[in-house]
Amino acid sequence: MDAQSKISHLRRPRRLRKSKSLRALVEETTISTNDLIMPLFVIDGKNKSEPIESMPGCKRLTIDYLIKECLEIAQLEIAAVALFPSLEASLKTENGDEALNKETLILRAVRKVKKAVPELTIITDIALDPYTSHGHDGVLNEKKTDVDNDKTVEILAKMAVLHAEAGVDIVAPSDMMDGRIEAIRNSLDNAGYNETSILAYSAKFASSYYGPFRDAVGSASAAGTNLLDKITYQLNPANRLEAMIETELDEIEGADILMVKPAGPYLDIIRELRNETTLPVAAYQVSGEYAQIHAAAKLGWLDLEKTRDESLLSIKRAGADMILTYFAKDVAQKIKNINLPTLENLPDQDFGEGI
Ligand code: PBG
């Protein structure tokens, strides 16, 4: 035997990859239904479910259908839903007045879902984009050149109280205005809702991955463009340090959970935040991330299930403690469908003598 065939490597990491059970034993990251939050869109009316073209499998649901969907989601042991209203254009105004209407769609939906499925955690967005005719997350300044930060914060603080009153467990300000977490915390506490949590969309980037969502809630068409520019309030995708400033401020101002959004293209931010804070970290796998996996799968270029699972695993591995994803229900179904055979159902086997 010549010397070359006897190469001895001290470390052979492949040893731990050779069987399924060994690989399972050393697996570092797993996705559980406890990690998942399902975003859902609600519309007015009865008995209707409208498909959203750019988000295959996602639908806008009337409240009766939404309740059924939430019951199923609770059965799958998904931890929470994030509800978004999709309003008729006629209800949208320059100042988003409908956001403070006590009988607005989202509040009616929350009251009904909370009653029908009390164990399910309900999260709602606190931002004006579903309500404004221009599709921005706040009201505009006098010259209409930009969103007016402080006027918007005042409205959001009132809106959060209405949501808490309707039964929302976690309000999620997604507007990226300065100082909104402190204002919302104060107004919730003053109204007696000190148990309502705040999930802050802290590092929310001005991303092109929100396109399909804007179709879903009609905020893109309301603005008359698919390129609604939110760059004066959402973060520049180039900036990591600025993202850390935003998360730090939200933590100081009283946020309970900090979120990074989008998720997949911003894994570095998720990891950095996980290393920096002791608060729970959420990540939002947004509509565009969902759409691109579906689109590639439809063309036969990617395997839908495998790519989906890998995308979520990566977000969790990066440090997210919880993930908002439109795949939540599909993934939960897959997780829960693993039926262990009961002892009675085990096939007869010959275990040999004495057993
Ligand atoms: C709006 C809001 C957006 C999303 C959640 N809340 C879009 C935006 O900022 O225009 C995006 C979610 C997604 O793309 O799935 N405040």
Centre of ligand 1 to C-alpha 137, Å, is 9
The answer to whether position 19 is within a domain reads no
The answer to whether position 14 is within a domain reads no
Q: How many CB atoms lie within 10 A of CB 314?
A: 16
State the CATH number of the domain containing residue 270: 3.20.20.70
**Pick the catalytic residue: 92, 112, 204, 316?**
204
Which atom from ligand 1 is nearest to the alpha carbon of 130? 1
Our count of domains for the chain comes to: 1
* pTM for this prediction: 0.92
> Residue 229: its pLDDT value, please?
86
The answer to whether position 137 is within a domain reads yes
The answer to whether position 5 is within a domain reads no
25-30 mean pLDDT: 97
The answer to whether position 276 is within a domain reads yes
How buried is 116 (Cβ within 10 angstroms: 0-12 exposed, 13-18 middle, 19+ buried)?
Answer: middle
The answer to whether position 352 is within a domain reads no
* Residues 187/251/230/319 CA torsion (nearest 10 deg): -130
59 is catalytic: no
Query: How far is residue 213 CA from its own chain's centroid?
Result: 12
Of 216, 88, 99, which Cα lies nearest the Cα of 166? 99
Which atom from ligand 1 is nearest to the alpha carbon of 137? 16
Domain that holds residue 249: 28-345
The answer to whether position 237 is within a domain reads yes
Look at 181 and 7; give whichever has higher pLDDT: 181
The answer to whether position 40 is within a domain reads yes
pLDDT in tens, 141-176: 999 989 999 999 999 999 999 999 999 999 999 999
261 is catalytic: yes
Centre of ligand 1 to C-alpha 174, Å, is 7
Residues 6 or more apart in contact with residue 19 via CB below 8 angstroms: none
Residues 6 or more apart in contact with residue 219 via CB below 8 angstroms: 129, 130, 132, 135, 228
210-214, 265-269, 312-316, 350-354: range with lowest mean pLDDT? 350-354
**Pick the catalytic residue: 92, 112, 230, 261?**
261
